[in-house]
Structure formats: structure tokens, C-alpha cells
Structure 1
Amino acid sequence: MTGLIIAALVTALVVYLLARGYKPQPVLLLGGMLLLLLTASLDLNPLLPENKSTQFKYFDIFQIFTDIMSSRLAGLGLTLMAIAGFSRYMEHVGASRALFAIFEKPLKTIKSPYLLLVISFLVTQIFSYFYS
């Protein structure tokens, strides 16, 4: 129960800081680090299993951070390279111009950029089911 209360308080702090206009990247990073620090300080749960632990709970925070960043950044870099390669190939074969020619008139009928954003997001999510 203590962990739930702490998580709610840190989440409220993060929402407050984001609403005040602070940059989301450092706010979310520090919010996550604060949760890990409080978990370690209050002995709410072990941060890492015994075989991966550094045997000092405060160093485990940085081990978790390192593990998460290395796996996520490697995957993100690979994804960005694949997207850039696909985009360059589609430009090379002329598919970008053909797609624009097809969708130019229907997209001009949508006057709200926010509605276009929502529609684009939904279409992208549908396409992502076929790619992954």
C-alpha cells in the first residue's frame, strides 16, 4: 500500500511539472529515478534479482537505468535506421510522390490539423499490426 501511495504522489508531481511547462524528458527521467530511489530507501521491493544485484541497493538503481537505456536505445536506433532506409528507398522509386498524388485531395478536405493527427495516428496503428 505504501508503494501505491508513493507512486501516486510521484505521478502527481510529474503531472504538475509537465502542466507547468517543464521539458518532459528530464521530468520523466527524474520521476522514474525518484521512484527507484524511494523503493530502495524504504525497502519496498528488491530492485534486482540476487544474481544481477550489485549488493548495494543504491548502485542497483544505476544498474537498472543502464539495463533499460541500453536495451531501449539499441532498439530505437535500429528502428530509426530501418525507417530512414525505407523512406529513402520509397523516395528513390517514386512511391512518395505517387502516395502524395493519391491522398492530396482527400487530405485537403480536412481543415483541422488535430483531426488529421488523430486519423493519422489511427491509420499508423492499423499499419503497425501488419509490420510487427
Structure 2
Amino acid sequence: MLSICIVIASIAAAAYLIFKKYYAPGALLFVGLITLGVVACISPDPLITGKKATHLAGLDVIQIFTNLLQTRTAGLGMNIMAIAGFTYFMDQIGASGALVRLSVKPLKLIKAPYIVMTLGFILSLILNVFIPSAAQVRRIRN
């Protein structure tokens, strides 16, 4: 029952901070660290077991945070670098411009702007299935 109360209090605190226009990732990080600290203080079991355990409640909270950063941010950083490299390469060889020109050519034949907008939206959805990045709509050249 106590664990449910802690979770509800944490959710309420996070919602309050976000509602008061605090920076959302910072508010969630702050509330998460406070929640881990509270759980570390009242729990009879250690938060971490095994090789990475520090056997001190305060340091276990920091170790959990470090473990999460090592696993999540490294993969995210590599994905961002790969996407940025791909986008830059496609831009340098002119592939993104060629794709836009090829996609816009059939839409130029239609003179009704609302139909063009609807077909352009549908075309972008279809392209997004095959090319899930913003590279295809980077620059529109006539």
C-alpha cells in the first residue's frame, strides 16, 4: 500500500511541476530521482544487486541513474549521428532534392489548391512509410 502511495505522490508532483510550466524532462528527472531516494530509504531490500551494487542506499540511486544513462543515451546518440550523417550525405549528392522534384511533378498538373494539399499530404504519408526521416521534405525547388 505504501508503494502505491509513493507512486501516486510522484505522479502528482510531476504533473504539478509540468502544469506550472517547469521544463518537463527536468521535472521528470527530479521527481524520478527523489522517488528513487525515498524508496532507497524505506525499502529493506537493496535497489541493486550483483556486481554493480554499491551497498549504500544513496550511491545505489546514483548507480541506477548512471546505468540508465549508459544504456539509453549511448544508443540514442549513435542513432542521431547515423540519421544526421545519412541526411547530410543524401543532401550532398542531391537525392533529397531529386526526390522532392519527382514527388511534386505530378502535383503541379492539378490546379485546385485543396486537392493538391490533400494529395500532397497522402503522398507524404506514403513516403514516410518507406523513408521515415525529414530528409525527403528538406528543400522544395521548382
Counterpart of 1:56 in structure 2 is: 56
Counterpart of 2:84 in structure 1 is: 84
SS at match of 1:109: helix
Percent identity, aligned pairs only?
33
TM-score by length of 2: 0.69
Counterpart of 1:19 in structure 2 is: 19
The ranges of structure 1 where at least 4 consecutive aligned residues each deviate by more than 6 angstroms after the TM superposition are none
Cα root mean square deviation, aligned? 2.8
Mapped to 2, the partners of 1:45 and 1:95 lie a distance apart of 57
Q: CA offsets, 1:93-118, max 9 Å, x none?
A: 22211333315959x726xxxxx8xx
Gaps of 5+ in 2: 108-113, 134-142
Q: CA offsets, 1:77-97, max 9 Å, x none?
A: 111110111101111222211
Q: CA 1:100–1:62 in structure 2 vs 1: closer, same or farther (change >3 Å)?
A: same
Q: CA 1:103–1:25 in structure 2 vs 1: closer, same or farther (change >3 Å)?
A: farther
Q: Which has the higher contact order (CA 8 A, sep 6+)?
A: 2
SS at match of 1:48: coil
TM-score by length of 1: 0.74
Mapped to 1, the partners of 2:51 and 2:32 lie a distance apart of 23
Mapped to 1, the partners of 2:99 and 2:45 lie a distance apart of 52
| Aligned residues of 1:36 and 1:61 also touching (Cα < 8 A) | yes
Gaps of 5+ in 1: 111-115
Q: CA offsets, 1:43-90, max 9 Å, x none?
A: 165310143211111110001111111222211211111011110111
| Aligned residues of 1:39 and 1:45 also touching (Cα < 8 A) | no
Task: Say which is worse superposed, 47-56 or 94-103, in terms of deviation.
Answer: 94-103
Counterpart of 2:100 in structure 1 is: 100
Task: Say which is worse superposed, 17-26 or 50-59, in terms of deviation.
Answer: 50-59
How many pairs were matched up? Answer: 117
SS at match of 1:10: helix
| Aligned residues of 1:3 and 1:44 also touching (Cα < 8 A) | no
